[in-house]
Amino acid sequence: MKRPVLWATIITICGIYLRLGRSEMICLASFVFMVAIVSRYVILTKRWNYCLFLLFAVFGFLYAGVAYKTDTDKVLLKGIVSGSGIVKDAGETSSGNQRLTIIGDLEDETGAVSQSVKIYAIWTGEGKLAAGDRVAFEGESAEFYTQTVPGGYDEDLYLRTKGYTYKIYPIWMEYLGEDHSIGSEIARGRAKVHQTLERILPENESGIMKAMLTGNRDDIPEDGYRLYTDAGVVHVLCISGLHMSCLALYVSFFMEKILKRSRRCSAVITMLSALGFLAFTGFTPSAVRAVTMICVVMTGRVLFRSHDRLNEIAIAALLILLIEPLYLFHAGFQLSFVTVLGLCLAADVVGMERKRKRTWKEWLKDSLVFSLYASLFSFPIVAYHFHSVSTIGILANLVIIPLSGLLLGFGILSMVLGMIYLPLGIFSAGSVYVILQIFKGTCTALLQLPFSCILTGQPSEMIILLYYGLLFCWLKFRDRKFGWKAAILLSGMLFISIYQNNLFWKETTIAFLDVGQGDCAVISTAENKTYLIDGGGEYGKDFGENVGKYTVVPYLEYLGIDILDGVFLSHPDKDHMIGLLETLEMIPAKALYVSDYPFEETEDILLLKEIVEKNKVPLYTVKAGDKDQGFVCLYPEEVFHTGDDNHGSMVLKYGYAGVDVLFTGDILAEDEGFLVTAGTDLSADILKVSHHGSRYSSSEAFLQAVCPETAIISCGENNIYGHPHEDVIERLYDAGTKKICRTDLDGSVLVRIRKNGTYTIDSMSERKPLYENIKEKLEKQ
């Protein structure tokens, strides 16, 4: 078998996915793939010992299970905890509070102890702490936030892959002195590099160089990070193979050409330098992958052995997954490995082993091939995690990558000179500033081209599998005649494309988003139209930093929505409107519909008018009887209650394929009574319960008139209002409701309505590994 390490790693990855993956189709494909590969080798060689490779799948499955069980079943200290430890890293959150990584011991009020744990602490008090400080503290232990909105941030996955066990909000912290361990000295070294860069470069440029030299991206301006992301060159802001390769090249050149050392000696020094830089910058997946490959190559030089790129990739991947299997689902891990795989295949295409000097035309052609292959392999992963792809990255990288080596070299030189003699460091940093301006100008110019950045939404996992299958077929059979093997592969992928393609399987999706103590629903119709009903909003958070920016817009980007066909505002309470206004600032809308009701003129109403006028959004008022595109307005009537803006809440009924959904805003019992008395057709299959489940809404008569099969309650976890009230839950069941979903417990709730009039309900809380779901169902039986 050629490259046994590669196949062992791939089969191990299949085993890990079978244990931790969520997609039924990907789990099935993983199982079929590894069985097919092993069977192929057994049939061709008549050697049954190849079946032993399936043990790697068993190992991956069991090892991932142990890691998952250790993380999820760990008994954590709850409530108020106290402890002491060493600050290993210090940064800032988006809200300006200090973010600390502490390694130390914890004890709760019962005397239970957790020793040598990694703690994620958010310090809101006065006084700044630095890496290497020894501290004592007391605070409240909090659970990691799980992903409650499709396309949203998954804090639980992120922190667990980083090795954190606790998240704490300290009430007080006390400085105890300095720690002088190796780790603390390295952390102080990073802090000194940061201070030097801040002194020799302007704020924006120093933030970028911090990311390139130390891996700290906290100080990169948001608009700058977005510019690099949209241009498809964000990899230069991460410690990746590009940086490690440049470092290895500089060290090897210095050792061999300047100091005239042997290749074996320079290889050893290069390995040590790469490992030192890895320890200095942090063990990110892309950096570990790059250093592992460098070490394998340098070891080959020392032992006078040739190396194989694909085996190097496999060894690096296996090493990282042995440290933490959850890295398999990490964007950095996936992008790092698929991109370098594309580069390896590109090297074979252009013939990098040739020794003759290339002309500038050959260099340009080869650079385009490398950039094209890297983009082709990374497009699906980028779309899956970031919901958009850059089509200009292929061109931008022609400028960015060659200059990145110079930028890294000048950056290190300027930093060292700045530590020795500041004016000399500032003078040298001029070259860094010029290169960064070239980067900025290149990205800005290319983004002016049409279709430079395409919003794709998140493709399904099976579509990604189909993409890579087609890419494999193209690479495998591009120089051959079309054969039966290719026919079988293409037929299978055609089946997958039909099975997953929305062109063949149309459905309408209604997402009741978890926006805390507020209301928000997004309707994506089978006719490719998208509507937003309310947008949530948290009290105490500034406009521009609320749920619209961090919850609603990310979900719309997850869907690939760049324009809203209609926006409905039930009434202008903050917990319904602020997120909606933020969304209107970021995504254009064809129309905004508000209730025909004399709401009180508030600052929020004035802000609404300002945003509508600035963004040129057509504004319409609606009342009972108005109909449009499947929506029917049932309330307010021309005669209504006054004295409380909740009385002006818009009541909408939306219907598709015979399934009716009733949206009730924050109407109160008086309004419900009016609708019942007027004989309004309130019947619906799905009810969005009024006023977050308040006891002053959802009267018995109203619920009997609606008679919902499913009820959705949108409310915040542990809210101060006690929503939903027990009486409301009881009245819903008395009215014949079979299922009640709550965003505080279930996260976002997704209703999928098919053309045949059936519908399914899926909540984010149910999105667990397939193995865990099967296990739970079997245990219930």
Task: In whole angstroms, give the CA distance from residue 688 to residue 615.
Answer: 30
Task: In whole angstroms, give the CA distance from residue 353 to residue 165.
Answer: 47
Torsion, CA 56, CA 61, CA 64, CA 66, rounded to 10: -110
Complete edge-to-edge strand list for the sheet that includes strand 651-656: 627-628, 631-635, 651-656, 659-663, 686-688, 710-713, 739-742
Whether the Cβ atoms of residue 167 and residue 143 lie closer than 8 Å to each other: yes
The pLDDT value given to residue 723: 94
The pLDDT value given to residue 305: 77
Look up tokens 């009887």; give the residue.
625
Helices and strands in the chain: count of H runs, count of E runs: 26, 22
Higher pLDDT, 308 or 498: 308
Which of the four pLDDT bands, split at 50, 70 and 90, describes residue 183?
confident
Complete edge-to-edge strand list for the sheet that includes strand 749-754: 619-622, 592-595, 566-569, 530-535, 520-524, 507-512, 749-754, 759-763
Answer positive or negative: Cα dihedral of 219, 222, 223, 225.
positive
* Residue 10, amino acid: I
Which of the four pLDDT bands, split at 50, 70 and 90, describes residue 273?
very high
Taking all residues of the chain, what is their mean pLDDT, rounded to a whole number? 88
Torsion, CA 142, CA 145, CA 148, CA 150, rounded to 10: 170
The pLDDT value given to residue 89: 87
Q: Is beta strand 530-535 parallel, antiparallel or unpaired with respect to 520-524?
A: antiparallel
Task: In whole angstroms, give the CA distance from residue 129 to residue 718.
Answer: 32
Q: DSSP characters for 321-364?
A: HHH-GGGGG-HHHHHHHHHHHHHHHHHHHHTTT--SPPPHHHHH
Selection from 242, 255, 516 nearest residue 404 by Cα? 242
Residues in the chain: 781
Cis-peptide into 636, omega within 30 deg: yes
Which of the four pLDDT bands, split at 50, 70 and 90, describes residue 571?
very high
The secondary structure of the chain in percent helix, strand, coil, rounded to multiples of 5, reads 55, 15, 30
Task: In whole angstroms, give the CA distance from residue 744 to residue 723.
Answer: 10
Specify burial of residue 385 (Cβ count, 10 A radius: 0-12, 13-18, 19+): middle
Task: In whole angstroms, give the CA distance from residue 777 to residue 781.
Answer: 6
Q: DSSP characters for 188-207?
A: HHHHHHHHHHHHHS-HHHHH
Task: In whole angstroms, give the CA distance from residue 231 to residue 228.
Answer: 5
Partnered with residue 598 across adjacent β-strands are none
Give the lowest-confidence range in 306-320, 490-504, 585-599: 490-504
| Span 320-339, average pLDDT | 90
In tens, the pLDDT along 433-491 reads: 999 999 999 999 999 999 899 998 998 887 888 888 878 777 776 665 555 566 566 65
The pLDDT value given to residue 665: 93
Task: In whole angstroms, give the CA distance from residue 119 to residue 230.
Answer: 33
Partnered with residue 632 across adjacent β-strands are 627, 653
* Main-chain dihedrals φ then ψ at residue 546, nearest 5 degrees: -110, -165
DSSP letter (8 states) at residue 617: -
- The first and second tokens of residue 361, run together, are 């035309």
Give the highest mean pLDDT range of 48-52, 391-395, 533-537, 644-648.
Answer: 533-537
Element (H, E) at 98: strand 98-108
Whether the Cβ atoms of residue 22 and residue 770 lie closer than 8 Å to each other: yes
Which of the four pLDDT bands, split at 50, 70 and 90, describes residue 539?
confident
* Residue 213, amino acid: L
- The first and second tokens of residue 268, run together, are 């050893």
pLDDT at 355 over 50: no
pLDDT at 107 over 80: yes
* Residue 626, amino acid: D
DSSP letter (8 states) at residue 236: G
Look up tokens 């920016």; give the residue.
549
In tens, the pLDDT along 199-229 reads: 999 999 999 999 999 888 888 888 899 999 9
* Residue 533, amino acid: I
DSSP letter (8 states) at residue 552: I
pLDDT at 8 over 90: yes
Give the lowest-confidence range in 8-22, 140-154, 481-495, 608-622: 481-495
Partnered with residue 90 across adjacent β-strands are 100
Task: In whole angstroms, give the CA distance from residue 133 to residue 118.
Answer: 15
The pLDDT value given to residue 738: 95
pTM beyond 0.85: yes
Q: Is beta strand 592-595 parallel, antiparallel or unpaired with respect to 566-569?
A: parallel
Max CA distance (Å), the chain: 96
Element (H, E) at 223: helix 222-230
| Span 78-90, average pLDDT | 91
Task: In whole angstroms, give the CA distance from residue 85 to residue 102.
Answer: 6
Whether the Cβ atoms of residue 566 and residue 531 lie closer than 8 Å to each other: yes
| Span 136-161, average pLDDT | 90
| Span 282-286, average pLDDT | 80
415 CB-near residues (< 8 Å, 6+ apart): 193, 196, 197, 200, 209, 213, 425
Selection from 599, 528, 558 nearest residue 460 by Cα? 558
The pLDDT value given to residue 71: 55
Task: In whole angstroms, give the CA distance from residue 365 to residue 126.
Answer: 56
Which of the four pLDDT bands, split at 50, 70 and 90, describes residue 99?
very high
> Quick one: how far is CA 406 from the chain centroid?
31
The pLDDT value given to residue 739: 95
| Span 594-607, average pLDDT | 90
Give the lowest-confidence range in 289-298, 466-475, 676-685: 466-475
DSSP letter (8 states) at residue 723: P
DSSP letter (8 states) at residue 542: P
In tens, the pLDDT along 723-746 reads: 999 999 999 999 999 999 999 999
Task: In whole angstroms, give the CA distance from residue 333 to residue 326.
Answer: 10
Task: In whole angstroms, give the CA distance from residue 91 to residue 129.
Answer: 9
In tens, the pLDDT along 56-80 reads: 999 999 999 887 775 555 557 888 9
* Residue 385, amino acid: H
718 CB-near residues (< 8 Å, 6+ apart): 744
Give the lowest-confidence range in 363-367, 543-547, 634-638: 363-367
Reading phi first (left if > 0) and then psi (alpha if -120 to 50, else beta), residue 2 is in beta
Specify burial of residue 744 (Cβ count, 10 A radius: 0-12, 13-18, 19+): buried
DSSP letter (8 states) at residue 397: H
Task: In whole angstroms, give the CA distance from residue 475 to residue 478.
Answer: 6
Which of the four pLDDT bands, split at 50, 70 and 90, describes residue 644?
confident
Which of the four pLDDT bands, split at 50, 70 and 90, describes residue 779?
confident
Please give the C-alpha separations between residue 328 and each of 17, 162, 461, 771, in angstroms, as whole numbers: 8, 13, 14, 16
- The first and second tokens of residue 332, run together, are 């950095």
